């Protein structure tokens, strides 16, 4: 039997309980919640939001809790900003050439 990992990112936890049986899928054996660390690096944010480290430093540089070499951020402050930026940035596209 194989194990599969499902990651859900939402405002509220999903209504799935331990030992529930999901039809045509299987049984829920384990539930975990991600805990955010107190400070995260620009590289951690870059990996999570699929942006470059340079872009993150430019956009949220005012929230830097570290020094100029070690960019550290409070994830609870900067993640809403980056989520909104990601939505705005994804709407842009290459200009059409006529």
Instruction: Tell which wins on pLDDT, 63 or 15.
Output: 63
Q: Tens digits of per-residue pLDDT, 50-70?
A: 888 998 999 898 999 988 888
Q: Describe the crossing of helices 75-91 and 42-49 by its angle, rounded to 10 degrees.
A: 40
List Cβ neighbours of 50 (8 Å cut-off, separation of 6 or more).
86
Q: Which residue has the tokens 């830097």?
A: 64
pTM: 0.61
Q: Over 70: is that where the pLDDT of 33 sits?
A: yes
For the chain, strand residue ranges (E) read 21-22, 26-27, 40-41, 72-73
Q: Over 70: is that where the pLDDT of 88 sits?
A: no
Determine the pLDDT at residue 38: 92
The residues spanned by each domain of the chain are 40-91
List Cβ neighbours of 71 (8 Å cut-off, separation of 6 or more).
41, 42, 56, 57, 61, 64
């Amino acid at each position: 039997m194989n194990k599969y990992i499902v990651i859900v990112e939402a405002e509220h936890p999903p209504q799935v309980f331990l030992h529930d049986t999901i039809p045509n899928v299987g049984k829920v054996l384990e539930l975990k919640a991600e805990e955010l660390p107190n400070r995260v690096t620009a590289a951690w944010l870059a990996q999570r939001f699929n942006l470059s480290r340079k872009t993150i430093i430019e956009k949220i540089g005012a929230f830097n809790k570290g020094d100029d070499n070690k960019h550290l951020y409070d994830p609870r402050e900067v993640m809403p900003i980056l989520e909104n930026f990601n939505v705005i940035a994804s709407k842009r596209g290459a200009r059409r050439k006529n």
